[in-house]
Amino acid sequence: MILAHRSLEAGSLQLEIKLVDALIQSKPKARQRLLLEAGIVAAIALLLLFVIPPILVGSGQGFRVNLLGRYLALAIAALGIDLIWGFTGILSLGHGVFFALGGYSLAMFLLLQLPDGQLPDFFSPYGVTELPWLWQPFYSLPFTLFAIVFIPTIVAAILGYLVFRNRIRGVYFSILTQAALIVFFNFFNGQQKLINGTNGLKTDTATIFGQTVSSPPIQAFLYTLTILLLVGGYALSRWLTSGRSGRLLVAVRDDEARMRFSGYDPTMFKVLVFAISAGLAGIAGALYTVQSGIITPQAMNIAFSIEMVIWVAVGGRATIVGAILGTLIVNFAKSILSEQYAQIWYFFQGGLFLIVVTVLPGGILGWLREDGVRLVRSQINKRRPLQTYPSLEEDPDVQYERKNLTNRESDR
């Protein structure tokens, strides 16, 4: 152990050599891995695009393609939850707001695809004869696309800035997001004359490009778009959580105060992640709406926002792939189980959450990566992988200390 203070120059030559070695070894490896990952993602995307739909249709389960499309849209929202909760450790229970904002934006655009001078049908029972100002900008497709992503992003950035600046954290933040959810829910619910209140906006009978939204070609297009955007969302999440920004997200989760005393302003990082996750939820909301045919204030149902967190927890926190996997597994389980036994799903969902929290804290993927590998190794009689030395890792006393004497939070 060299504790004497060394001038940096003295060892720099040796370090240069080490560095060069490290670069030579690591660069191509990292690139290879990235390429491999991109290849796998592309393969899965192609599978979802060209193989799975024909199989499902061939086996008489054609409606499941639409379900798959919807759940893949939800997975985009789950990616956002994984960013904000999995990596950054901020539990948002209000992502339904952003989901709904995205959904309503696209629905408003679709309902305005009418001959000149006509109003969407639902307005007439309320005696509305002039298009409300809120609707005007949604004639424009570019504005709508902008709105789907950036209205949720901006709302989240403002809300996040106000909350994080005042250092509201943990449970208090979660409660605030729930409060925001209720505020938005009640507002949308009460605005009959503006957005058809509790009935929501139906998009499946609207027309676009001369065809109804629910027609097969449009739905196939939306299915493809969902997969492409999910791949995009995956790439964005991977980029954000690798390198320096990824380390800073973990730093926010591990020790915000340390960050502050090291000269970082955690507020801005949290606002950024919250805003990005809201943008992802907005995209998810838009894609889900057009594939399910309707958006109502029920998208801001409290249970739905909590479900989003459950998907991520089941798949595995802070794993990105886990968010997608968890969403698909939970939602397909939901649809299959509720077809068989209508009422049993909620028990099952509750049970699933309990199991994940108590038995599988790392979710499915976390379990696979840790214990699954260990299980297989022990079956084929290999030693488990060690991170330090056998004398340390296999010594029960050392393990006990590591478990019980880690950072205490005395001067937080």
Binding site for another protein (CB under 8 A): 1-6, 8, 11-12, 15-16, 18-19, 240, 243-245, 247-248, 250-251, 253-255, 257-266, 268-269, 272, 387-388, 402, 405-411
Query: What number of helices (H) and strands (E) belong to the chain?
Result: 18, 4
* Least distance (Å) between residue 294 CB and another protein: 37
Q: CA 114, CA 127: separation in Å to the nearest integer?
A: 19
- For residue 204, the Cα-to-chain-centroid distance in whole angstroms is 26
Q: Report in angstroms how near the CB of residue 90 gets to another protein at its nearest.
A: 15
Helix (H, G, I), strand (E, B) or coil at 199: helix
Which CB sits closer to another protein, 1 or 359?
1
State the CB neighbour count (10 A cutoff) for residue 343: 8
Whose CA is closest to 213, among 281, 113, 293? 293
Instruction: Assign 202 to helix, strand or coil.
Output: strand
- Shortest Å, Cβ 201 to another protein: 36
In the complex, least distance from residue 167 CB atom to another protein, rounded to whole angstroms: 10
CA dihedral 54→71→289→64, nearest 10 degrees, is 30
**Comparing C-alpha atoms, which of 265, 285, 248, 252 is closest to residue 153?**
285
Q: How far is the CB of 4 from another protein (least distance, A)?
A: 7
Those residues with Cβ within 8 angstroms of residue 147's Cβ, 6 or more apart along the chain or in another chain = 105, 137, 138
From the CB of 261, what's the least distance to another protein, in Å? Answer: 5
Cβ 401 to another protein shortest distance, Å:
8
**Cβ closest to another protein, residue 3 vs residue 171:** 3
Chain centroid to Cα 117, Å, comes to: 40
202 bridge partner residues:
294
User: Which CB atom, from 30 or from 43, has the smaller least distance to another protein?
Assistant: 30
Rounded to a whole number of angstroms, the minimum distance from the CB of residue 315 to another protein is 19
Task: Return d(Cα 407, Cα 410) in angstroms, integer.
Answer: 9
Q: Which phi and psi angles does 207 have, rounded to 5°?
A: -115, 150
Give how far Cα 367 sits from Cα of 155, 321, 338, 346, Å: 36, 13, 27, 24
Q: 169 or 193: whose CB is closer to another protein?
A: 169
CB of 256 to another protein, least distance (A): 10
Report the residue number, 8 or 380, with the smaller CB distance to another protein: 8
Alpha-carbon distances, residue 110 vs 144, 201, 221 (angstroms): 10, 10, 15
In the three-class reduction of DSSP (H, G, I as helix; E, B as strand; rest coil), residue 152 is classed as: helix
Q: Report in angstroms how near the CB of residue 307 gets to another protein at its nearest.
A: 27
284 CB-near residues (< 8 Å, 6+ apart):
73, 74, 75, 76, 77, 80, 99, 102
CA distance 100 to 64: 23
Q: What is the DSSP letter of 197?
A: G
For residues 91 and 259, which CB has a smaller minimum distance to another protein in the complex?
A: 259
